[in-house]
Amino acid sequence: MAEVLRKKPGAEAIDVAIGDMRTTRVDGKFKLVYLVWNSIMNVTNQDGQVEVFANAAAHLDEGGYFVVEVAVHKQDRTPAGDLGQVFVMDDDHVGIDTFDDPVLQLMSSHHWTEINGHLHRDTGRFRYVWPSELDLMARLASMRLVNRWGGWQEEVFTAESESQVAVYQK
């Protein structure tokens, strides 16, 4: 992604830091830090996710905002004994989430994609996080929840929401 950015007009005006979201520091304080597209789930243990919140807070001005977009896990809606869920079944893509360790909240996302007539498989491991758990991580980092929506259009967040956009303030 950084290489693609570097090829765009005006890219030289944007500082890019590549590193671990738990520990990478950049100079300055900001009014906004955001973490989107389920990125928090790439950190596969709770302590690491807490570190992400602490690092975000360390980069914020007082009164600044940390915005987190993440899927709302559906394991509680899966029939007992089921090992996973098919979340997409298209002609050229099949996606299945498996529940690897419910105690540690670990899951794997498996994708089979047809590319140029060949079937490719990719698997990634993730740690899902509950809305209340995000709120606690924020409180540990001296932030408070100011909004939670069911999506980027500020949809009402309900028990049926499939994603959330949570806004925390330092």
Q: Is the pLDDT of residue 99 over 90?
A: no
CA distance 32 to 67: 8
* Tens digits of residue pLDDT in 22-37: 999 999 999 999 999 9
Detail the DSSP E strand segments found in 18-160.
30-35, 60-71, 84-89, 93-101, 106-115, 118-127, 144-149
Task: Return the structure tokens found at 57.
Answer: 């807070």
Indicate the residue type of 68.
V
pTM: 0.90
* Tens digits of residue pLDDT in 38-62: 999 999 999 999 999 999 999 999 9
Q: Are residues 136 and 153 in the same domain?
A: yes
Q: Are residues 88 and 13 in the same domain?
A: no
54: domain CATH number is: 3.40.50.150
Q: How many helices (H) and strands (E) does the chain have?
A: 3, 8
Q: What's the domain count of the chain?
A: 2
Q: Are residues 41 and 113 in the same domain?
A: no
Q: Are residues 52 and 23 in the same domain?
A: yes
Report residue 57 CA to chain centroid gap.
16
